[in-house]
């Protein structure tokens, strides 16, 4: 889950431990001031009557790690991201202190927090079907007679390969999150939990010195067979059952991840380790500064996105006089320090105020990348529902909801970062800045494909400078491809440079057709080329031209939001873009006139244009 998606939060459900009235009062004041719905429930109570799956919900736990685990049990099955406020004692998971709650929440609703999607472990058997974020333990049952055996014997298999017999107190199968609990006390390794999707098998009080912890992938099926009665506990007893002799249970990585929200006000993982466990290789407050270049490389909320959180003042930092939200200079380092790494945007963190500064456009590309990927999440989720729907009106409702959700995420993120910029979207009234920066957005290009379960749809986001497209991002949710470019700088796909082909012969070229109402382009080029394909997304057509997947593309007429981002990407990759007469294509934001677009790799353009003109002349003569 992308942290930018949290910018659309309009409902908070808080699971509250006893003696937390002061923190709840602070949360109530914050939500009231921002017109966000708040519901509170006591630990252990159900949230069904309060939870609305159609709203953008944030889960909050107020308590220690026990309350946090209850939150995971409640929120993770509903795919709700969760923020933990620490009012407990030994807390590794709930890391926001009450005094930092308001500032941390400001960061969340500004879309500047990160979401750490944690691996869970699932266990199934004849007497159990449960999921945990920490661990599953299988241990001996204390005998009624103290002289009877206190040893558990367990046979363990990994994907049907026999590991061996474990003899001792039992076994713990832990996630990376749970590696600091029981497994650590049993001499298991500490796992850095962020972006770590593994499971580890740790023997408890083993009677054999050679038995060591084992790390496996989350897809590995661990089968445990008891040789005597045993007790199985999930996350310290939140689910528990008795296993009889010969009973078998299957453990593997859960399909559903737990989404943990991290802000710059959280204690970092190793800071928490130093505070709670006396991590001996650093003092609690020993935090050497990180060189800027290393910080840039650490940005991101997944394998693709950068983040600009560290350099942007939060509402509290921008308003030091606000006593309700005191700034926290000690924790103003990058949100990425909460753990996420990897970047597909490689952008500097600080936006420039200069009108023509390259840094401004790099910063805009980072924001657009994060917004597009965040918008892609609900599109994928809703796209997965289309095939199971047979009623046309219901399909229409899903497409409308997909458009709405994606548009809301993108526009909220842009408004948060660039409140002075204009926004033009297919889904809302125009707010054009003819003499400044304006964003042009198509949250779902390829609506027809989407409605029929076809994966060829995209998210298109462009930035105009005084009416000229200067930055473009196109994201393909179903393939996780991201195309981006800055005018006159270069284009790339998933961070790698791309360029057009160099073919100059029609009979060697692959062409793409967009809207072609009477089939002129198809009929005149199909036999002359290696084929004409129609994908159903103008933005994708231009990106595939840019990346060399096609040699040319044609659109009978265009809408500005369909092509703004793709134009930047194609031109930056070396494409030639003209109208049907061969005149340079002129992008017009405020027009209802038909504007044809012919794009090619460049060398092919003369042959392409000549053949197209012949086709158009023949069409006119036929009429």
Catalytic positions = 65
Report how far Cα 565 is from the mean position of its chain's Cα atoms.
21
Tell whether 135 is in a known binding site.
yes
DSSP state of 569: H
**Is the Cα dihedral 601, 605, 611, 614 positive or negative?**
positive
Q: How many CA atoms, within 13 angstroms, populate the side-chain half-sphere of residue 113?
A: 30
Q: Any known ligand binding at 134?
A: yes
Sign of the alpha-carbon dihedral angle for 450, 453, 454, 456: positive
What are the φ/ψ torsions at residue 190 (nearest 5 degrees)?
A: -85, 130
Q: What is the CB neighbour count within 10 angstroms for residue 18?
A: 10
State the Cα–Cα distance between residues 381 and 21, nearest whole angstrom. Answer: 37
DSSP 3-state of 414: helix
Q: Is 100 assigned to a binding site?
A: no
Those residues whose C-beta lies under 8 Å from the C-beta of residue 432, and which sit 6 or more positions away, are 422, 424, 438, 589, 590
- Structure tokens that stand for 336 in this block: 């990425």
Q: Any residues with CB less than 8 A from the CB of 148 and at least 6 apart, and which? A: none
- Helices 392-417, 358-386: crossing angle, 10 deg rounding: 160
End-to-end CA distance of the chain: 54
- Contact, 543 vs 474, CB < 8 A? yes
Q: Give 3-state DSSP helix, strand, coil % of the chain, rounded to 5.
A: 30, 25, 45
Indicate the pairing of strand 576-578 with strand 170-174.
unpaired
- 266 annotated ligand-binding residue: no
Strands (E) in 219-284, as ranges, are 222-226, 230-234, 239-243, 248-253, 258-262
Burial class (CB in 10 A: 0-12, 13-18, 19+), 85: buried
Cβ proximity of 569 and 476 under 8 Å: no
Helix (H) or strand (E) holding 396: helix 392-417
Whose CA is closest to 529, among 615, 618, 623, 595?
615
Residues 6 or more apart whose Cβ sits within 8 Å of residue 540: 445, 446, 456, 457, 458, 474, 476, 566
Secondary structure of residue 435 in the 3-state scheme = coil
Q: How buried is residue 356: exposed, middle or buried, by Cβ count under 10 Å (0-12/13-18/19+)?
A: exposed
φ, ψ for residue 253 (rounded to 5)? -65, 135
Q: Give the DSSP letter of residue 338.
A: G
Residue 395, marked binder: no
- The answer to whether 65 is annotated as binding is yes
Alpha helix positions (H), 242-329: 269-277, 292-297, 315-318
Neighbours of 443 (CB within 10 A): 30
Name the 3-class secondary structure at 464. Answer: strand
Q: Does the CA dihedral 279-285-288-289 come out positive or negative?
A: positive
Please give the backbone phi and psi of residue 176, each rounded to the nearest 5 degrees, phi first.
-60, -35
Query: Which residues sit in the known binding site for NAD(+)?
Result: 65-66, 134-135, 150
Query: Which residues sit in the known binding site?
Result: 65-66, 134-135, 150, 426, 442, 444-445, 562
Query: Which residues sit in the known binding site for Mg(2+)?
Result: 426, 442, 444-445, 562
């Amino acid at each position: 889950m992308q942290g930018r998606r949290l910018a659309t939060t309009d409902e908070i459900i808080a699971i509250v431990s006893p003696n937390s009235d002061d923190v709840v009062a602070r949360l109530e004041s914050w939500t009231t001031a921002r017109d966000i719905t708040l519901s509170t429930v006591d630990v252990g109570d159900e949230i069904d009557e309060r939870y609305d799956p159609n709203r953008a919900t944030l889960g909050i736990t107020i308590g220690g790690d026990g309350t946090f685990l209850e939150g995971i049990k409640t929120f993770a099955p509903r795919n709700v991201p969760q923020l933990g406020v620490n009012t407990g004692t030994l807390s590794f998971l709930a890391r926001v202190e009450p005094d930092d709650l308001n500032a941390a929440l400001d960061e969340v609703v500004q879309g500047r927090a990160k979401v750490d999607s944690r691996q869970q472990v699932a266990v199934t058997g004849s007497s159990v079907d449960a999921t945990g974020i920490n661990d599953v333990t299988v241990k001996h049952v204390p005998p009624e007679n103290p002289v009877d055996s206190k040893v558990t014997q367990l046979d363990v298999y990994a994907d049907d390969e026999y590991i061996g017999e474990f003899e001792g107190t039992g076994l713990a199968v832990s996630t990376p999150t749970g590696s600091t609990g029981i497994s650590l006390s049993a001499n298991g390794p500490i796992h850095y939990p962020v972006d770590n999707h593994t499971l580890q098998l740790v023997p408890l009080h083993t009677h054999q010195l050679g038995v060591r912890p084992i790390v496996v992938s989350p897809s590995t099926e661990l089968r445990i067979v008891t040789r005597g009665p045993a007790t199985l506990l999930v996350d310290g007893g939140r689910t528990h059952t008795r296993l009889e002799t010969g009973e078998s249970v299957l453990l593997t990585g859960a399909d559903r991840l737990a989404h943990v929200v991290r802000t710059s006000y959280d204690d970092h993982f190793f800071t928490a380790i130093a505070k709670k466990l006396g991590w001996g290789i650093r003092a609690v407050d020993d935090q050497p500064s990180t060189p800027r270049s290393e910080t840039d490389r650490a940005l991101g909320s997944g394998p693709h996105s950068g983040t600009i959180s560290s350099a942007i003042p939060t509402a509290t930092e921008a308003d030091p006089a606000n006593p309700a939200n005191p700034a926290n200079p000690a924790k103003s380092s990058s949100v990425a320090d909460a753990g996420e790494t990897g970047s597909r945007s490689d952008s500097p963190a600080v936006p420039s105020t200069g009108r023509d500064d390259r840094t401004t456009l790099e910063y805009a590309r980072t924001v657009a990348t994060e917004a597009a990927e965040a918008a892609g999440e609900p599109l994928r989720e809703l796209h997965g529902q289309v095939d199971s729907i047979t009623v046309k009106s219901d399909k229409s409702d899903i497409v409308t909801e997909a458009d709405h959700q994606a548009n809301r995420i993108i526009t909220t993120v842009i408004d948060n970062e660039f409140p002075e910029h204009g926004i033009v979207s297919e889904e809302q009234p125009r707010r054009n800045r003819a003499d400044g920066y304006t964003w042009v957005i198509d949250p779902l290009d390829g609506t027809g494909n989407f409605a029929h379960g076809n994966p060829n749809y995209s998210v298109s986001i462009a930035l105009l400078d005084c009416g000229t497209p200067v930055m473009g991002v196109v994201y393909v949710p179903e393939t996780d491809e991201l195309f981006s470019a800055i005018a006159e700088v270069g284009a790339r796909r998933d961070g790698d440079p791309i360029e057009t082909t160099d073919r100059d012969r029609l009979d060697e070229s692959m062409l793409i057709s967009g809207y072609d109402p009477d089939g002129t382009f198809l009929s005149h080029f199909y036999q002359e080329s290696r084929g004409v394909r129609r994908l159903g997304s103008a933005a994708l057509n231009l990106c595939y031209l840019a990346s060399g997947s096609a040699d040319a593309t044609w659109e009978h007429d265009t809408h500005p939001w369909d092509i703004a981002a793709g134009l930047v990407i194609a031109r930056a990759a070396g494409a030639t873009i003209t109208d049907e007469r061969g005149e340079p294509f002129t992008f017009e934001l405020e027009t209802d006139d038909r504007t044809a677009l012919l794009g090619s790799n460049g060398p092919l353009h003369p042959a392409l244009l000549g053949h197209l003109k012949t086709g158009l002349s023949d069409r006119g003569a036929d009429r």
